[in-house]
Chains A and B, each alone.
Chain A
Amino acid sequence: MARPRLAVIKFASCDGCQLSLLDCEDELLAVAGAVEIANFPEASRAVHPGPYDVTLVEGSITTEHDAARIRAVRDETAVLITIGACATSGGIQALRNFADVGEMVRAVYARPDFISTLATSTPISAHVKVDYELRGCPIDKGQLLELVSALLAGRRPVLPSHSVCVECKLASRVCVMVAHGTPCLGPVTHAGCGALCPGYHRGCYGCFGPAETTNTATLAAQWQALGASRRDIHRAFRTFNAASEPFCREADAHG
C-alpha cells in the first residue's frame, strides 16, 4: 500500500507549530518512514504536487492572497488539520480585529502603501471545512503524534476537550488560585499542555484557547475577588486566542 501523502502548509504564523514536527527528534525518522512527506517547505525543497491525504495547516488568514490559497489547499487534501492558535482562532495577530489596521500598518511601516493586508486575522475554519483542530500556542507535540498515529491506524484520535483545570488535578498539582491567590485561566482553557504553567507556579494564560464548555463570567468574578482589575481581565482574554468567541465576549465585558 502506498504511504499516505503529507503536506505542511503555512499562513501568518511564527513557524513554531510546524517546528513541533521537527522537534519530535525520537520519532521524526519513523514518521518520515510511515508517510510520504510530499510538501513541507520548512524541511525540504522537494515539493511534490497534490492531491495529499493529510495536510497540516499552520497560521491564520490575513491577506486576500492567503484567503484564495487556503481554498486551493482544501481542494487538494482529503484531511485538513489546523495546528495551533493562529490556524484555529486567528492567533495573536487577531488583535488587529479590535483596532484600526490602517493605523497599525502606519505605526510599523514607513511606507504603508507597500503593505497589503486584511483588516482581520481569521481562523482557517472561517474559510474552509476543517477536519481536526489542534489547539495551543504552540501545539503539544504529543497531541500531534497522537493525531498522526490515529490517522495512520484508521482510529479516532484521543484529544481531550476538557479544561486545563482537569489536567492540573490529574497531575496532582496544587491549585495556584486557591492556594496562592494567583489568577489562572485554567478553568476555561482547553486541555493539551498538561497544565504546564501551574506546574511552574504561575497561572494559566490561556494559550490553548477556550475549552469546549466554559464559564468565563464566573471565573472573571473570581479574578476580581483576587484583586485583578477590569483591565487585567480584559487583557488576559484578549491575547493569544482573542478572536475565539468565549474569550472575545469576556474581554468585551471588561473593556
Chain B
Amino acid sequence: MKKSTKKHIKIILIILIIFGIPSTISFNLEKKVQIFINPNLDRYLSPNNSFNATLEFQQRQQVYLDTSNNSNGLYAQSTRVYLGLAVYEPVIQEALDKVNSREDTSDFTMNALLRIIYFNNITGVLSVSLESEIKDAILNFKYWFTEPNEDDMIMWTENHMILFHTAELLAGQFYPNDIFLNSGMNGTEHVDHALPLVNRWISWRARFGFSEWHSNIYFSHDLMALLNLVEFAQDNDTATKAAMIIDLIGFDFANNYYKGRYATTHGRTEDNRQFGTSIYNLPSRESPSEAAWLMLGIGYHEPSDTSNGAAVFLATSEKYAPPPILEDIGVHAILYNEHKERSSINIKDGPTYGIGYTSEDDLMFWWPMSAPAAAPIIDSSLDLAEEYDIDLGLIFNDELLVDLLKFGATLYGTSLSGLCEKVKGVTQGVCLETVNTYTYRTPYYQLSGAQDHQKGLAGLQEHIWQASIDDYAVVYTNSPGGIGVQEFSGGWKPRATLYKNVGVIQYDRLSQPLLLEVVFVYLGLKPYTHAYFPRWAFDIVIKQGKWTFGARGDGYVALYSYEPITWKSKYEMRAFGNKNAYIVELGSIEDYGSFQNFTSSILSSKIKIVPKSVGFSVQYNSPLRGKIEVAWDGPMKVNDQEVDLGDYPRFDNNYCYQEFNTMKTIIRFENQTLELHFDNATRLYYGT
C-alpha cells in the first residue's frame, strides 16, 4: 500500500471517529433526555405583601399529583390521602415496622406518616385500624436522644435534626392530651420541647446557611420537614420562618441548577449521583431535582420519580408557594449568572458567633457539621453520649474510631483533645466548616465549586467542584482515600480556585502521624487522583498531551493534568500520586467560533507549573482571561488582580447581597422584591 493511500485511510478513519461516534452518542442521548418544561411568565399575583401561587406552580403541582397518585411508594401515600384516595396499606405497614423498631432514617418515615395523619383528618380515607396503628406508632416513637430507651437512629445531622424536631412538634400538636409512651410526656409538653428546637435550627440556617451545603440528597429531606412545618405548625411565626427557609433553598436552586442538574459543589453527596458509566447507566437523578422543578420550573419533571418526598410535600402543599420572584430568577439566571455564597462557620470561630464547645446546645450546633471528634468538642461529645447513653457508633460512624483515638492519645502522651488536634487532617477535615461557593454560568456551560475549602484535609462526602456543559457532559476531579470510602466524592480535598470559566485545582496534603497513615493504608491505599470525564456524554473528546478536551453542542471543556494522566475507563482518567494540579477551562462557540479553535487556543497557551513543598505554583495564560497565577497558599491572581476567594457574604449576586450572620435577606429582581425578616418572622413580597 502506498504511503499516500495509508494517509488517506487515516484521515477517513479520523473523520469517521470525530463525526460518526459523537453523532451516535448524541442520538442516543437525545432519546434519554426528558422534556423540559419552561415556565410561562404570565401569572396572577395578589397585591402588595402577599402572593398566591403562580398558575405555573399550581400546574406543576397538578402534573406531579397526577403521576404521584398512582404510586405505591410511601411518600406518595400522602398524595393519595391528600386527594382522598385509598392508600396502599402494605407500604404503610412497612413504614410502621420501621418506625416501631426505631431504625435509622425512621424520622423520614415519621414525617410522611404525620403528613398522612394530618391530611386524613380532613379527607378521612384511612381505615380505623390503620389510623389506630399509626397513632400507636406516633405515640411510641422516640423523638430525641434525651428520651430514654434504645434506638438505632442518627438524630443530629442537619437534616435529621429538623426532621426529628418537626416530627415531635407535629405529633405533639396532633395528640396534645395523649401520653407519649416512650417519653412519658403528653403532646403539649412535646410541643413545648420541640418548638424552641425547631426555631433554633431555623435561626442557624438563617444566619449561617446550610452546613450540608447544596446537598443533592439532603436538601430534599430538609424540604420535607420544612414543608410539614409550613403546612401544619400551629405557631404562625414558626410556619412563616420555615417558608422563608424554603425560599432560600429555592433561591439556591435558581442560582446553582444548570439544566436538569444541581451542577455545583456539594457538602454531602454520594457517588451514584455524581457519575454515570454510559448512556445506559446514567448518574442517578438528584433527590431535590423534582422539587426544584416543582418550585421554580427549572430542570425537568421525571415522570417516574413519583414518590419523591420533597416533591410530594410540595405538590400537596396548600400553604407554601414559591414567591414569583424566585421563579423569575430561575428563568433569568439560565443565561448568565455569577453567584457567590457562604455557608457554615469554622469551628475555631464558634465563640465569635456565641457558640461554645461544651453545652448540649453548643454540641447540637457542631454535631450536624460532623464535628463531634473535632479537638475542642470531642470531650464534651463523649460526656453527652455518656449522659444519655447514646451509642457511640451513631455519633462517630464507628465506635472503633473512639477506641482508636483513645489508644492514640495514650500513644502520643496527650489528651484526647490534643490528639484530635494532632490528627485534624481527619477530625477537622470531616467537619463541614465555612464554605465559599462560587458559580459562573453562561448559556453554554457552568463552572461551580468551593473556593479554597479545607485544602489538604480528608473529607467524607464532599464534592468540591464541577464543570458542566449539560446534564451529563460533566467534568470534575477527585483524590479518593483518607477515611472516605467513595471513589468520586469525599477523599482528600484540593485547593480549588475558580475564576469565571477557569479553575485551578491542586491536590496535596500534609503528612499525618504515622498511626493515621497506617489507618489510611488499612482503609485502602489509593495513590492517585482522577478525573470524571464521561466520553459517552460528549460529542467529541480529544486527548492531546496533558490536555483533554470535550465538546457537547456548543459548549467546550478542557482539562489539564500536571501528572501524566491516562484513561482508566470510558468515563475516568487517572494520574498516579496524590499530588497533582489540574487546570480546567470552559469555552463556547460564542467565544471561539469552533471547537477546533478552542483546542488550538488552549494548546498554544503557556503553562508553568512548579511543584512546591506543598502544592504547586501555577501560571497559566488563559486564552480568554489572561495570566492566571495561583499557588497552594496565597491569592489567586488574574492579570495581577487578586480574585475574591472568600470569605464571601451570605449571598452575593445580581439579585441579592446579604452579609453573613445577618437575619434579613432581601432579594430583588426587576420590579419585584422579596424580604425575609427572620427576626420578626415576616415574609414580604412586593411585585407587580
Is B truly associated with A? no
Which B residues are within 8 Å of any A CB, using their own CB? none
Which A residues are within 8 Å of any B CB, using their own CB? none
